[in-house]
């Protein structure tokens, strides 16, 4: 599919400007990666997301179609892997699209827009972690592997990309 045609079918909106999307985003993340350990319930997670400040990190970016939330990505200043990588400050995280929307360029656009936002905030280097051990989409977007780690029974690849 022509990515320029697909790109014209969605816009980027901060999650803070679409609070009605918070339960959907939280559900996507919980279904994909499980409930964060710091929360006892999905409702607690939704409350945390609703309380975040739009001018502070983490910053959640939505890809939005005419009526639907298509996907999400997050720029944050701390990772669950902080103990393993204490010097890695900024992370791309939580990139998610429903399976039926994958392969249309939306995730690529979300990642590139998040990198652009990081640049405007003075970030020089971003990191991410993926279960795709060859880097998948991220390798195609210029991310370089740093190290493979095994955490809670899962093999993960930590990657980095210069922003400026």
Please give the model's pTM, rounded to 2 decimal places: 0.89
User: Could you give the number of structural domains in the chain?
Assistant: 1
| C-alpha closest to that of 5 among 140, 117, 105, 96 | 105
Q: Where are the alpha helices (DSSP H) in 55-151?
A: 106-120, 136-140
Q: In whole angstroms, what is the distance from residue 61 CA to residue 81 CA?
A: 22
Question: What pLDDT, on a 0 to 100 scale, did the predictor assign at position 28?
Answer: 96
Question: What pLDDT, on a 0 to 100 scale, did the predictor assign at position 164?
Answer: 77
Question: What pLDDT, on a 0 to 100 scale, did the predictor assign at position 87?
Answer: 86
CATH value at residue 143: 3.40.630.30
What stretches in the chain show pLDDT beneath 50? 1-7
Question: What pLDDT, on a 0 to 100 scale, did the predictor assign at position 6?
Answer: 46
Question: What pLDDT, on a 0 to 100 scale, did the predictor assign at position 84?
Answer: 78
Domain that holds residue 156: 3-162
Q: In whole angstroms, what is the distance from residue 134 CA to residue 153 CA?
A: 18
Contact 8, 14 (CB under 8 A): no
Question: What pLDDT, on a 0 to 100 scale, did the predictor assign at position 7?
Answer: 47
Question: What pLDDT, on a 0 to 100 scale, did the predictor assign at position 39?
Answer: 80
Per-residue b or e along 14-40, where b marks 16 or more CB atoms closer than 10 Å to that residue's CB: ebbeeeebbebbbebbbeeeeeeeeee
């Amino acid at each position: 599919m022509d990515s320029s045609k697909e790109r014209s079918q969605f816009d980027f909106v901060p999650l803070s400007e679409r609070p009605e999307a918070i339960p959907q985003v939280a559900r996507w993340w919980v279904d994909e990666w499980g409930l964060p350990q710091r929360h006892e319930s999905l409702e607690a997670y939704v409350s945390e997301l609703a309380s975040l400040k739009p001018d502070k990190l983490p910053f959640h970016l939505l890809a939005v179609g005419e009526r639907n939330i298509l996907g999400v990505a997050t720029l944050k200043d701390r990772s669950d892997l902080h103990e393993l990588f204490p010097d890695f400050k900024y992370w791309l995280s939580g990139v998610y699209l429903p399976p039926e929307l994958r392969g249309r360029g939306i995730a690529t656009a979300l990642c590139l827009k998040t990198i652009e936002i990081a640049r405007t905030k003075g970030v020089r280097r971003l990191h991410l972690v993926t279960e795709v051990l060859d880097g998948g989409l991220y390798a195609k977007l210029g991310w370089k592997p740093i190290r493979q780690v095994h955490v809670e029974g899962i093999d993960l690849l930590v990657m980095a990309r210069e922003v400026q």
